[in-house]
Structure formats: structure tokens, C-alpha cells
Amino acid sequence: MKKITLLFFYFAGISLSALAQKEHHLHYTFKKGDSYEWSQSATVKQHITVAGQDQNIETTLKATALLKVIELVKDGGKFEIEYTKISSTVPAAGLNLDSEGDTTKNIGNKILQAMKGKKFTFTLSKNGTVDNVENVENIWSGLTPANGFKAAETAQMKAGLENQFSKASIKNSLEAGLISYPENKIKVGITWSTKKSIANPLPLGTDYVWTLESAQEPSATVVGDGKIASTDTTKIVSLQQGLKATTNFKGRTVSKVNINLATGWPESCKAYTEQKGVMMLQPGGQIPEEMPLNMELNVDSEYTIKKK
């Protein structure tokens, strides 16, 4: 009888402990003038098969940006953002671009250096939705003849960089590093779902399931598991060098994020993404008929966000 009584109180204690778990209302907080330094890096590995030939491309991207709250808006804040460091390396193509590197012999370094400090804006809701990415064309405002740039020298590289720093790409990059929080309060172990979609450069959607894995003042850990899929397999998208294609991809992305419980801001994150699919090149130019381009994409990324 004593054992049964002890077991009863043991299980009752567990139940009461679970019921007593603290609830957390996760959301971003904003104060005009607050600034954050966001440093991120990603290694992108692509395996491409086209016309029976295999090609492997590895790209390393690194960037540091300064974000500053310039205005409080309804349910969020408006930010001014500028890149302070940018680098991109593609060993297979012999490219090693660095905004901090020598600019006398490397036009790519000079272009990246000219992109530094060029400000644009976006708004962020308290729940983590990025809207109104504006003035991204300002990033290229320094590429002028007055600064020693010739259109013929910068055209091809600028086209590639514009794809990486377009409104859609920047929105996607920001949202990939910012958790979308639920409206209601949650406890450790509770999950919630969000959807993210982009239309450009490729029509892709991600269905996320987020979990508050642990919470111990002043920080918490949130894990995300997302399923990626093309949202429109018939849409013809424009690629570099005048190519056009339809796309059909599927994949998965997982992430582990450490957040500040008081402010909702992520402080560090590690993520992995994998995608597989077919890019069907459309007839035109040197392509006489539809040509399948099979692709596998793997991305390892991480970032830190520090309040200045």
C-alpha cells in the first residue's frame, strides 16, 4: 500500500509540474534607435546533371549587416539596413571576392566594396514577418563612372549579384533567419506551424513546424522543421545569361535557434537545407528544345545577431 501511495504522489508530482510550466509569449520587441549586427555565412553545394554531364559547384557566402530601428510602425518596426562586409567564393570558377580585399587588381572586390554602407529598408512585424523591402537599388548606386566603374566591366558580375540581393532574395534571407512566432502563449514542447513562400527567383513554398524545445531565463531554444516544394511547376522563370526554365523541386530545411526570451530576437542559429528536382530549360538561343537539368542543392548556414 505504501508503494502505491508513493507512486501516486510521484505521478501526481509529474502532472503538477507539467501543469505548472511557465507560458511564454514569444514576439519581437522594438525600440527606436536600437541596432543589431547580423553576421551570417552559408556553404552552398550544387550537383548538376545536364546532357549526361555532371558538374559540382560549391559557393561560400559571408555577410555582416547592421540593422537599425528607424521608426515604430503598427505591430512592428521599420529598419534601415546596410552591409558592412561581403564575400563570395566559388573555387571551381576561380572566384574569390571580398569587400575587404585588394581592389586594385580585382574588379569584383571593388564592386563589393562599393556596395558597403548603401542603405535600404524593410519592416518587421512583432511575429516575425518581413514586409516592404525597399530601396534595394541603392545597393548599386556606387557603381558609376564617377567612381571608376565601366558598364562593360561590371555588367555580368552585377547581374549575378542583383539576383542574390534582389528584394525577393533579401526578404527570403531575412525570414530564413527570423522565426515566425504564434499569436498565443506557449509552453516548452508546444509546436506551431507557419508557411513561407517566394515567387522570385523561383516559386517555392516552405511549410514549417516549430517547437519550443527548452526555455530557461534569459534564453530559449526553438527548432524548426520545414518541407520545401515548388508552388508552380508551370511558371517560366528567367535565369542568368538569358536562359528560361520551369522548375520542380522538393526538399527539407531544419534549424536550431537560440533566442532571447525577453526580446524575441534570435541570437544564434545553425541550419541545414536540402533540395532536389528538375529545372527544365526552355527552347531559345543555343537550346533547340526542352532540356532537363537535374539539380541537388545542400546548404549549411549559420548566423549570429548581437544587439549593439
Each residue's pLDDT tens digit in the chain (308 positions)? 444 555 544 444 444 444 457 899 999 999 999 999 999 999 999 999 988 899 999 999 999 999 999 999 998 999 999 999 999 998 887 889 999 999 888 888 998 999 999 999 999 999 999 988 999 989 988 888 888 888 777 776 677 677 777 888 888 888 888 899 999 999 999 999 999 887 667 889 999 999 999 999 999 999 999 999 999 999 998 887 778 999 999 999 999 999 999 999 999 999 999 999 999 999 988 888 999 999 999 999 999 999 98
Look up residue 5 and give its DSSP letter: H
- Give dist(CA 187, CA 200) in Å, integer: 36
Work out the angle at residue 179's Cα, subtended by the Cα atoms of residues 78 and 199, and round it to the nearest 5 degrees: 75
Full-model pTM: 0.85
CB atoms within 10 A of CB 29: 12
Q: The domain at 23-307 falls in which architecture?
A: Roll (2.30)
What does each C-alpha distance from 113 to 98, 101, 224 come to in angstroms?
Answer: 8, 9, 35
- Asked if 89 and 97 count as a contact pair (C-beta separation under 8 A), the reply is yes
Amino acid at 203: P
Is residue 92 left, alpha or beta, with left meaning phi > 0 and alpha meaning psi from -120 to 50?
Answer: alpha
Q: Is 33 exposed, middle or buried (0-12, 13-18, 19+ CB in 10 A)?
A: exposed
> Cα(179)–Cα(224) distance, rounded to whole angstroms?
9
Rg (C-alpha) for the chain, rounded Å, is 23
